[in-house]
């Protein structure tokens, strides 16, 4: 076999002493991630995915439950505070009504007796800061500890409001009693309750008024929060109908809420909502005062607020515990997965090591590895594959030997054919170069691709010099303009013949030019063959008027152009030459 055959055999991976290329033990696959790693990663991803999904699900439910619990607790506080205020106001109002029905008070004639009755009432109601009886003109007849006795209260709202029936006034700071009452850390604030006083026969004798200390509401709030164990961060606010804080955190009482907040989402709502307070959100429960019994509501609203961070502290602790449990489970299952992965992948590693250490032509059976049934089945399957590989390699060697013989025979035949083709080409070139006619080939761009040596006699250019040039560069612009229609028709697929005249060596010559289209296997015209024959002497012998003489003009002074002719002799030569030269087409 020559070197070409041996190179082909090497590229095919065949040889007398070697199997296919993939059996080469030095050709190892690129490093891959081990199966054990994949198994551990898969288990960890599954566990982490399950933990994360469970955490998110539990977090969603736990958060919703925490919000509902916080809302329920805050709502309960708001309702209880609202009910306590309404109930307390009703009880205080009924107590004032009861005192107003006592005979000493009705008579309004003995201030000392009336004062004693009023002070006894005050002893039972420590939050009653002042209780006094004013006559019909607004002069205080008697009062607890004698405060304001003899003073005119006819312009006070409680006196004016109680002349026509029971009166309950909103919270207000002390006016006339501020300097008469004992000093305390916070300014005195009162709720006014008053009822008309009349004799049994219905004659009005005055108005009985009560200034109820607003510390009573603070006491209610503190007792309520302690009883319900509301936890830290809970604030109880009481807002009047004008948006003024009448009970709230330190420093907030007496302040009017901004209009946008007073007209906010909680106004007029009785329930639970979430307020966005900038950096911290707050859960807020609202309860609207509706009055109780003969006490008509003053339009108070009880707001119970708690920061979201405090309300959901238990939820966040639960979330942390869930995440810690998830991480612990992931680590535990990761360790279990690592051990299991090593156990599962070990037989595959042993099998791979056995295959790597096994000679390529060994016929001994593989050792059966334990572990699990699939590994044993894989070992048996590999044994069958190796057996089929040995049979295949034997067949390949036989095919290679046969192919080697065929390659040698084909190479010998190819050398003979190439030699014959070269001889034929040389012979054809020699014939065309010695013909007394001009033969050339043009491509579709009308560039000359080949010609015989007669071209030198016509143009002064050798075939090598003219190859690649356009028709106009070889034969002249005038000839190109005149021959262009003929050439275009020929390139369109039509066989053309033309009689031309040309001055040559000072004599007028006459030529027959035949143009034959050249078609490829797809019947597409790729160029044309041209055969130019000097017929000057033939024309003179016939006595025809060839127009021979000086000044006959350049190429193109032809007399006739024909297409699709079936002429013989020289006119048919291009067809024959085209057929012969089709074996040696010029390179484009």
DSSP letters, 214-278, are: THHHHHHHHHHHHHHT--TT-EEEEE-TTSBEEE-STTTTTPBPPHHHHTSTTTT--EEEEEEET
Instruction: Give the number of other Cβ atoms within 10 Å of residue 535's Cβ.
Output: 18
Q: Is 60 part of a structural domain of the chain?
A: no
Q: What's the CATH number where 232 sits? A: 3.30.450.20
Strand partners, 496: 515, 563
Q: Is 410 part of a structural domain of the chain?
A: yes
User: Model pTM?
Assistant: 0.51
pLDDT score of 97 more than 90: yes
Q: Is 330 part of a structural domain of the chain?
A: no
Q: Is 7 part of a structural domain of the chain?
A: no
pLDDT score of 35 more than 90: no
Q: Is 408 part of a structural domain of the chain?
A: yes
pLDDT score of 48 more than 70: yes
Q: Is 331 part of a structural domain of the chain?
A: no
Choosing from 280, 314, 348, the residue where a domain stops is 314
Q: Is 347 part of a structural domain of the chain?
A: no
What is the pLDDT at residue 588?
33
Domain that holds residue 483: 436-584
In order of 28, 367, 511, 571, 572, the CA distances from 567 in angstroms are 73, 87, 15, 5, 6
Both 132 and 278 in one domain: the answer is yes
10 CA to centre of own chain: 51
pLDDT tens across 468-484, in order?
999 999 999 988 999 99
Count of structural domains, the chain = 3
What is the pLDDT at residue 523?
92
What is the pLDDT at residue 215?
87
pLDDT score of 185 more than 80: no
Looking at 17-26, 318-327, 352-361, which range is the least confident one? 17-26
pLDDT score of 583 more than 80: no
Most confident listed range (24-38, 138-152, 274-288)? 138-152
The residue whose two tokens read 């003219």 is: 466
Both 419 and 449 in one domain: the answer is no
What is the pLDDT at residue 359?
57
Q: What is the Cα–Cα distance from 431 to 573, expressed in whole angstroms?
A: 13
Both 231 and 274 in one domain: the answer is yes
Span 92-110, mean pLDDT?
89
pLDDT tens across 386-437, in order?
788 888 888 888 888 899 989 998 999 898 988 888 888 788 777 887 888 9
Q: Considering the chain, what is the average pLDDT of its residues?
A: 79
Q: What is the Cα–Cα distance from 76 to 74, expressed in whole angstroms?
A: 5
pLDDT score of 346 more than 80: no
pLDDT score of 566 more than 50: no
Both 97 and 116 in one domain: the answer is yes
Both 400 and 515 in one domain: the answer is no
pLDDT score of 552 more than 60: no
What is the pLDDT at residue 141?
94
| Burial per residue of 331-359, b for 16 or more beta-carbon CB atoms within 10 angstroms, e otherwise | eebbeebbeebeebbbbbebbeeeeeeee
Q: What is the Cα–Cα distance from 125 to 340, expressed in whole angstroms?
A: 79
pLDDT score of 582 more than 50: no
Both 394 and 383 in one domain: the answer is yes
Instruction: Give the number of other Cβ atoms within 10 Å of residue 388's Cβ.
Output: 10
pLDDT score of 558 more than 70: no
What is the pLDDT at residue 549?
29
Both 166 and 296 in one domain: the answer is yes
Two tokens at 175? 């006016």
Span 463-472, mean pLDDT?
94
Q: Is 333 part of a structural domain of the chain?
A: no
Residues 6+ apart with CB under 8 A from 486: 496, 498, 515, 561
Choosing from 393, 419, 434, the residue where a domain stops is 434
Both 463 and 391 in one domain: the answer is no
More confident of the two residues 117 and 428: 117
What is the pLDDT at residue 16?
45
pLDDT score of 23 more than 80: no
Span 72-80, mean pLDDT?
86
Both 291 and 416 in one domain: the answer is no
What is the pLDDT at residue 261?
59
Q: What is the DSSP letter of 18?
A: B
Report residue 308: phi and psi, to 5°.
-60, -40
What is the pLDDT at residue 112?
92
How many residues belong to the chain?
A: 588
In order of 127, 162, 220, the CA distances from 212 in angstroms are 6, 16, 14
More confident of the two residues 208 and 64: 208
Both 448 and 534 in one domain: the answer is yes
What is the pLDDT at residue 469?
95
Pair 214, 298: CB distance under 8 Å: no
What is the pLDDT at residue 265?
47
Both 273 and 152 in one domain: the answer is yes
Both 192 and 156 in one domain: the answer is yes
């Amino acid at each position: 076999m020559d070197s070409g055959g041996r190179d082909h055999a090497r590229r095919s991976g065949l040889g007398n002493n070697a199997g296919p290329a993939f059996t080469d033990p030095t050709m190892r696959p690129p490093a891959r991630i081990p199966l054990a790693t994949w198994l551990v990663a898969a288990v960890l991803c599954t566990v982490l995915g399950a933990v994360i999904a469970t955490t998110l699900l539990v977090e969603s439910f736990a958060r919703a439950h925490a919000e509902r619990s916080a809302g329920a607790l805050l709502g309960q506080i708001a309702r209880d505070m609202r009910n306590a205020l309404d109930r307390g106001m009703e009880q205080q109002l009924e107590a004032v009504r009861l005192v107003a029905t006592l005979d000493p008070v009705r008579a309004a004639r003995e201030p000392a007796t009336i004062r004693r009755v009023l002070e006894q009432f005050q002893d039972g109601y420590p939050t009653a800061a002042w209780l006094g009886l004013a006559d019909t003109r607004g002069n205080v007849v008697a009062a607890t500890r004698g405060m304001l006795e003899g003073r005119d209260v006819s312009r006070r709202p409680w006196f004016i409001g109680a002349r026509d029936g029971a009166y309950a006034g909103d919270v207000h700071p002390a006016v006339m009693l501020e300097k008469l009452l004992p000093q305390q850390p916070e300014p005195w604030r009162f709720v006014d309750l008053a009822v008309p006083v009349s004799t049994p026969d219905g004659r009005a004798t005055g108005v009985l008024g009560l200034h109820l200390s607003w510390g009573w509401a603070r006491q209610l709030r503190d007792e309520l929060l302690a009883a319900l164990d509301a936890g830290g961060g809970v604030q109880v606010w009481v807002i009047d109908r004008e948006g003024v804080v009448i009970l709230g955190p330190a420093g907030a009482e007496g302040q009017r809420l901004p209009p946008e907040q007073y007209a906010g989402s909680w106004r007029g709502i009785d329930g639970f909502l979430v307020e966005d307070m900038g950096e911290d959100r707050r859960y807020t429960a609202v309860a609207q005062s509706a009055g109780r019994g003969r006490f008509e509501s003053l339009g108070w609203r009880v707001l119970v607020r708690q920061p979201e961070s405090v309300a959901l502290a238990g939820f966040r602790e639960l979330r942390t515990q869930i995440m810690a449990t998830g991480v612990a489970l992931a680590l535990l299952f990761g360790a279990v997965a690592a051990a299991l992965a090593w156990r599962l992948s070990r037989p595959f590693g042993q099998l791979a090591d056995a295959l790597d250490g096994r000679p390529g032509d060994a016929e001994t059976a593989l050792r059966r590895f334990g572990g699990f049934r699939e590994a044993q089945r894989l070992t048996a399957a590999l044994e069958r594959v190796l057996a089929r590989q040995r049979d295949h390699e034997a067949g390949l060697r036989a095919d290679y030997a046969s192919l080697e013989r065929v390659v040698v025979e084909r190479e010998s035949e190819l050398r003979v054919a190439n030699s014959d083709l070269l001889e034929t080409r040389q012979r054809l070139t020699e014939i065309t170069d010695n013909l007394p006619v001009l033969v050339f080939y043009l491509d579709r761009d009308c560039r000359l691709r080949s010609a015989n040596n007669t071209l030198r006699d016509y143009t002064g250019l050798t075939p090598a010099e003219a190859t690649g040039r356009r028709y106009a560069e070889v034969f002249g612009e005038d000839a190109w303009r005149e021959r262009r229609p003929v050439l275009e028709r020929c390139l369109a697929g039509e066989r053309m013949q033309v009689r031309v005249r040309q001055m040559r060596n000072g004599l007028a010559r006459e030529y027959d030019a035949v143009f034959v289209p050249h078609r490829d296997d797809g019947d597409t015209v790729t160029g044309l063959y041209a055969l130019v024959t000097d017929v000057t002497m033939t024309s003179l012998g016939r006595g025809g008027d060839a127009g021979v003489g000086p000044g006959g003009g350049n190429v193109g002074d032809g007399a006739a152009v024909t297409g699709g002719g079936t002429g013989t002799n020289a006119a048919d030569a291009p067809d024959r030459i085209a057929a012969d030269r089709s074996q040696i087409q010029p390179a484009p």
